Structure 1
């Protein structure tokens, strides 16, 4: 046993506060850890299953091969579980966070998110990460707050759903942006946030002992695992679909445009730095310089994805250990360290997917139609509600105290749809009227 193994063996596990639940409940199967229960709850949730029909890069119904939000979440979970375990996190806890991180994404991916944010202006906007917390703590009904003799902190929730009732540590680990809209600690203009005003009570409970604006360590592992999974796999999907030509990455003009896109993912990076990052990747013997769909090229591509994931995760693991040393890195004991050069390599891969897959002309036309679907759905549902709302969201609408809360219930309904069900509901409520 080396020094790291010895340190992990003697250091305490997560404390009772980390394993606490919003509503206390007994374990029906003694012997399971609190985080194993969390993982099982997310894995069996309807919200996770819904992601099978939700856009990752391209719409899931357009072909059989591209990844969906569900396959991405499963792959992210595998990456995060191994990286977290290597650094001393509870692997079930990190896997839970990775499985849950995209639950709030609406139909049509980021296009739907932007359109729904506009439709939700009257109730504070829409953000997929804030919606994830809302799903986990309200909209996925597994547990309810006691109707009588509820603790004071449950005052807003007597007899109401508390969602999956995950542990404090699991909810914290799944919160990528632990602040409300407009309060990003380093980017005041950022539209990224992790909680709506309606959900502040449970958010404050989750973050009771957290440094303001700082993510827990498990959340940083989840965030990097997300970046690694989608940057690598989106390029793989693009190659399989024939949208990415590896030879184009050697063209000077194409590289210049690629680095312009990559700069969005690596603010402040110079084109020369991004060029060096791409050159480092292309210099690896496993890099897919050609791809024709043959069995041999498919094998080489699969090896390349494995090599890239290992490269990005090992770089983060080594840099984090260099800063913090051996031992169990959990909660607020550390922050994941990702070398700058590694972040640039990841940014270049993201740019490849954006440039050659998402920026295709037909994708722009599709996104335009999708924005119209979301806008028209919101208009009709707001006008006719509670007609058109499912029972869960109808109840929220009818219990709402004001127009803001009623609009939030409508937004919740739209956000719960898959791509296909959004189109079907649009045909029923809009086109057929």
Structure 2
């Protein structure tokens, strides 16, 4: 067989597939793909990844075919993550795998579905989309003969769990975002079997994927909001940086039709953020003196990130979107309808597991009198639904469906 160059020269601080800490279940090496490439491919071919095509990003699917879904968002994050990784000498296959997997644990109806499931599951350990993604790739995907899940490498699992930073402080206590309720049980249980070093940072590739997510959803939510008519050019000019881009476009292309103005605005915002992140990350890497992935993990702050100026822009854009898009009355009405669907489906399946498909009903039956286990089965089932399927299940069980046509 022809030899393939599976490990091109990368920076010394990059993840190295040839030196991976391996998989839970040992497998023969592939002659044509690195372990990180195999992880990416397994994610793409998973059922959970396909379902993202019909899960809400901001707008529910019936709003129009051209708005982002979780799937199109994930693909766009993957493109940005690859660009960052290549510029920084990182393993772009690992960065892409993490970008494509980062939303696998999301429920139908976006963050509304997550909030409702978390509230319902509070007596049983709550719901966390990051922990759910880990459950999917280590347990819930049932495709392979030799193991449950996707049997991903340590580096991919680590990046999936810690792409936003460490989950534990150096003394073992949860970081602030988990301080009140503690780490999700799924993370604790898996870490006991396959340690993920929860008090350290993940690879620079994971950090690139996390930053790519920020870049993508800021830019693309502006895009979708403008095209939906919820945002206006006058409104976005409240953010100085966006107003300046708009003025530049008007100077270069006076009288440009609105749809082209929107695209120019978004592409210039993405380009600025990527180029700023590359420059700033190179500066941080050089200043840190890291020479290995272990050095990256041991840092006290991320090595991949924005400059202070662009951090301020990012914060302003997020604040603007929260006030003007995510809390818009039209989207609030959709959230109410989504909450009704999840709130009614859960108790119905919990009390009558036979209403679920046979494999899920059997899993609930095996839980016996353990309500926490039965609740988790129902939670896993609902969390995996697409928006459309959840609405249809509500219609099947209750002979009605909430109105999403706000």
TM-score by length of 1: 0.78
Shift of 1:13: 5.8
Query: Aligned match of 1:410 in 371, 378, 398?
Result: 378
Partner of 2:284: 323
Mapped to 1, the partners of 2:291 and 2:220 lie a distance apart of: 30
**2:112 is the alignment partner of 1:111:** yes
Partner of 2:16: 14
CA RMSD of aligned residues (A): 3.0
Shift of 1:240: 1.4
Partner of 1:34: 35
Partner of 1:218: 205
Partner of 1:398: 365
Are the counterparts in 2 of residues 94 and 221 from structure 1 also a CA contact under 8 Å?
yes
Residue 215 to residue 358, structure 1, CA distance change in 2 (3 Å):
same
Mapped to 1, the partners of 2:335 and 2:394 lie a distance apart of: 15
**2:44 is the alignment partner of 1:62:** no
Mapped to 2, the partners of 1:376 and 1:322 lie a distance apart of: 51
Residue 9 to residue 234, structure 1, CA distance change in 2 (3 Å):
closer
Residue 174 to residue 328, structure 1, CA distance change in 2 (3 Å):
farther
Mapped to 2, the partners of 1:9 and 1:226 lie a distance apart of: 23
**2:368 is the alignment partner of 1:368:** no
Mapped to 1, the partners of 2:336 and 2:12 lie a distance apart of: 56
* Structure 1, 84-93 or 391-400: larger mean CA deviation: 391-400
Shift of 1:245: 1.2
User: What secondary structure sits across from 1:214 in the alignment?
Assistant: coil
Partner of 1:235: 222
Residue 350 to residue 11, structure 1, CA distance change in 2 (3 Å):
closer
Shift of 1:92: 0.8
Pairing 1:186-197 to 2, within 5 Å after superposition: 186-187=176-177, 189=179, 196-197=184-185
Pairing 1:9-408 to 2, within 5 Å after superposition: 14=16, 18-27=20-29, 29-143=30-144, 161-175=147-161, 176=163, 179=167, 184-187=174-177, 189=179, 196-198=184-186, 200-204=188-192, 206-208=194-196, 210=197, 212-250=199-237, 255=238, 278-284=239-245, 296-325=257-286, 330=293, 332-333=295-296, 335=302, 336-385=304-353, 387-400=354-367, 402-408=370-376
Residue 365 to residue 10, structure 1, CA distance change in 2 (3 Å):
closer
Shift of 1:16: 5.7
TM-score by length of 2: 0.83
Are the counterparts in 2 of residues 42 and 96 from structure 1 also a CA contact under 8 Å?
yes
Shift of 1:352: 3.6
Contiguous gaps of at least 5 residues in structure 1: 1-5, 146-160, 256-277
Shift of 1:368: 1.2
Contiguous gaps of at least 5 residues in structure 2: 1-7, 401-406
Residue 354 to residue 50, structure 1, CA distance change in 2 (3 Å):
same
Residue 328 to residue 303, structure 1, CA distance change in 2 (3 Å):
farther
Mapped to 2, the partners of 1:9 and 1:114 lie a distance apart of: 40
